[in-house]
Amino acid sequence: MYIHQQEKAQSFTKLPNFLFEAPTYQPLSNEAKILYAYILRRTELSRKNGWADDYGRIYLYYPINEVVELLHCGRQKAVNTLRELQYAGLVEIKKQGCGKTNRLYPLFYESGTNH
């Protein structure tokens, strides 16, 4: 089927180029890159809903079971993928305790060049 004008609007998730172009992030797994793109998408929703801490930093919740669903993987792989983003400096994870979902603080890539 060909794409025609005035097709139904489709939902898209932006996948930042720097994840593939910046030497720092090239070693990230494709799962981590996809998860980061989805985290950025949720960040916009958090911003619209006013989800910010006392310092004005945007946060979101991404329960492990939802990461498992998104990536079609097991729980440990989902946990490891989140850790991969944490170690790469793309998210900060704050434990809530008492069985609550961890808060994710998306961090933004900064570079002297436009990506």
- List pLDDT tens digits, range 83-96: 999 999 999 999 98
Architecture of the domain made up of 23-106: Orthogonal Bundle (1.10)
> How confident is the model over 61-65, as a mean pLDDT?
94
The edge-to-edge listing of strands for the beta sheet with 91-94 is 60-61, 103-106, 91-94
Task: Specify the amino acid at residue 73.
Answer: C
Residue boundaries of the structural domains of the chain: 23-106
**Within its chain, how far is the Cα of 69 from the centroid?**
14
**Sequence-separated (6 or more) residues with CB below 8 Å from residue 36:** 16, 19, 28, 85, 90, 91, 106
Q: Percentage of the chain surpassing pLDDT 70?
A: 87
In this structure, what is the dihedral angle of CA atoms 17, 64, 105, 84, given to the nearest 10 degrees? -50
SS3 label, residue 94: strand
In the predicted structure, residue 97 carries a pLDDT above the cut 90: no
Enclosing H/E stretch for 18: helix 18-21
Q: 108: which 2 tokens?
A: 């933004």
For residue range 13-41, what is the model confidence (pLDDT) as tens digits?
Answer: 899 999 999 999 999 999 999 999 999 99
